[in-house]
């Protein structure tokens, strides 16, 4: 039988779920609207190690890093790189061999820290804010206080977005790193912009190296 206590507990659970989902560290997939260059003026080789191609999550004491592999990027990183290089410097790269050795896209979440005094105060408030006899609601509210506060603090924490591209052109090595920071949840747009800026930086860097030669 559905009771008022059940309704209160269900409402508390729903509220907690909404808060926690809103505080998730990063988006799951990244789509970049760009036409793929199937034909290029240069030869392109993808020599990345297998662990650089697959998405994965690394959890450590300092926080959690989410890595976006080819399965989470559309187009995948090799296609993005070929497209940017062909559009940006197809003439300069004509007849050369471009080798991609690393394309890392990641989001680092330092995690949230919950103040114990704040948590205890929230639990006490949850227990005393229900009517007399509402022990179930009070206990449920106290139990949900910690994940709700954690979700709020996580939404406020600053995440680091990171893109690293390494390879070589006719065995001349290049490396580009671009990073940005976002407070709160990392959206698909945040990651898309970071990747695009990294690719633009790559083209500018390679053009500068070509001119200096």
- Can you give the pLDDT at residue 208? 87
- Can you give the pLDDT at residue 112? 56
- Can you give the pLDDT at residue 93? 96
Tell me the whole-structure pTM to 2 decimals. Answer: 0.70
CA dist list (Å): 46 to 58, 78, 98, 212? 24, 7, 9, 26
- Model confidence pLDDT, tens digit, residues 28-55: 789 999 888 889 999 999 999 999 999 9
The per-residue DSSP string of the chain comes to: ---HHHHHHHHHHHHHHHHHHHT-SB-S-EE------SS-SSEEEE---GGGTS-EEEE-SS-EEEE--TTTEES-HHHHHHHHHHHHHTTTTTT-EEEEEEEEEEEEE------HHHHHHHHHHHHHTSPTT-HHHHHHHHHHHHHHHHHHHHHHSEEEEEEEEEEEETTEEEEEEEEEEEESPBPHHHHHHHHHHHHHHHHHHHHHHHHH-
- Can you give the pLDDT at residue 156? 63
- Can you give the pLDDT at residue 185? 87
Query: For 211, phi and psi rounded to 5 degrees?
Result: -65, -40
- Can you give the pLDDT at residue 169? 96
- Can you give the pLDDT at residue 140? 47
Under 8 Å between Cβ of 118 and 72:
no
Low-confidence ranges of the chain (pLDDT < 50): 2-10, 12-24, 115, 119, 122-123, 132-133, 136-142, 144-146, 148-150
- Can you give the pLDDT at residue 21? 39
Task: Name all domains of the chain by residue range, CATH numbers in brackets.
Answer: 1-26+112-156 (no CATH), 32-111+157-212 (3.40.50)
């Amino acid at each position: 039988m559905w009771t008022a206590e059940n309704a209160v507990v269900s409402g508390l659970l729903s509220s907690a779920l909404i808060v926690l989902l809103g505080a998730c560290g990063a988006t799951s997939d990244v789509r970049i609207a760009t036409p793929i260059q199937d034909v290029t003026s240069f030869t392109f080789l993808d020599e990345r190690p297998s662990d650089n191609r697959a998405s994965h999550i690394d959890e450590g004491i300092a926080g959690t890093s989410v890595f976006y592999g080819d399965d989470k990027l559309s187009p995948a990183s090799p296609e993005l790189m070929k497209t940017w290089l062909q559009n940006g410097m197809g003439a300069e790269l004509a007849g050369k061999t471009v080798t991609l050795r690393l394309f890392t896209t990641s989001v680092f979440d330092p995690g949230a820290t919950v103040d114990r005094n704040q948590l205890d105060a929230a639990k006490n408030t949850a227990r005393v804010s229900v009517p007399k006899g509402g022990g179930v609601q009070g206990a449920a509210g106290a139990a949900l206080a910690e994940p709700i506060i954690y979700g709020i603090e996580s939404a406020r924490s600053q995440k680091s977005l990171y893109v690293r591209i390494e390879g070589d052109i006719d065995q001349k090595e290049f490396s580009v790193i671009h990073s940005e920071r976002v407070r709160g949840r990392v959206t698909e747009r945040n990651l898309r912009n970071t990747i695009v800026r990294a690719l633009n930086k790559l083209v500018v860097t390679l053009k500068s190296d070509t001119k200096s030669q």
